[in-house]
Structure 1
């Protein structure tokens, strides 16, 4: 994958069935995939090397973003997801890689600001079910 502009990595919330709304005002965004391991090492493991059971660990994705308020509708959608503890569909578009979509829950929503600057926010989301991947 060649170098890409960071602004092209998009986080989208499903505003209504089949209609995706980009979370506006994000200046930084990130997606991380993780999988837990299941250790099945025994005293008889070859050379005392650790053995892992493939396909048995829990997988998850974490999405985060930080930015400024620019679009009231998408900011309100993110805020409602948090205060309602709602699990909702989300899409993360990674340029020249693909789109990851599935259920997510907002696990952190922070607001801040300086006396001579704009109000900023940071949000963290965690996957809450099976995710789908569509290659670019």
Structure 2
């Protein structure tokens, strides 16, 4: 596989009828995390830590920032944040696949300089099972 363009890492939110790409993104970061459950005790071999497989909580999170463009996707973001709703999201990883599932927008920030454009930053946290579909 060849290198992929960062601009092709897309965030799409379901607006009630279709998935729409969030407009104006300049940077994005997708992270997967899994908590561990430590079950080490005095009988653990060689005093090495032992973990309980499959017991920890898994989560996916995404942060992104970009230029506020006053597109339909901006309204979808705002509405989902202020209603604290879970929104179905797709995160397209170019050349790899699509991560999909319910996400909650946990942060929505707007900023701007006197002589610059209005920018926004968002953070999303998974709110249920997330699936992965390989690229075709």
Partner of 2:2: 2
Matches within 5 A, 1:57-76: 57-76=56-75
TM-score, normalised relative to structure 1: 0.96
RMSD: 0.9
Q: 1:71 Cα deviation (Å)?
A: 4.5
In the alignment, the residues of structure 2 paired with residue 96 and residue 53 of structure 1 have an alpha-carbon distance, to the nearest angstrom, of 33
Q: What is the rounded CA distance, in whole Å, between the counterparts of 1:33 and 1:76 in structure 2? A: 27
Q: Does 1:26 align with 2:14?
A: no
5+ long unaligned stretches in structure 1: none
Deviant stretches of 4+, over 4 Å = none
State the match for 2:45 in structure 1.
Answer: 46
Q: What residue is the counterpart of 1:79 in the other structure?
A: 78
3-state SS of paired residue (2:56):
coil
TM-score (norm. length: structure 2): 0.96
Aligned to 2:11: 11
Structure 2 unaligned residues grouped into runs of 5+: none
Alignment length, in residue pairs?
A: 135
Shift of 1:64: 1.0
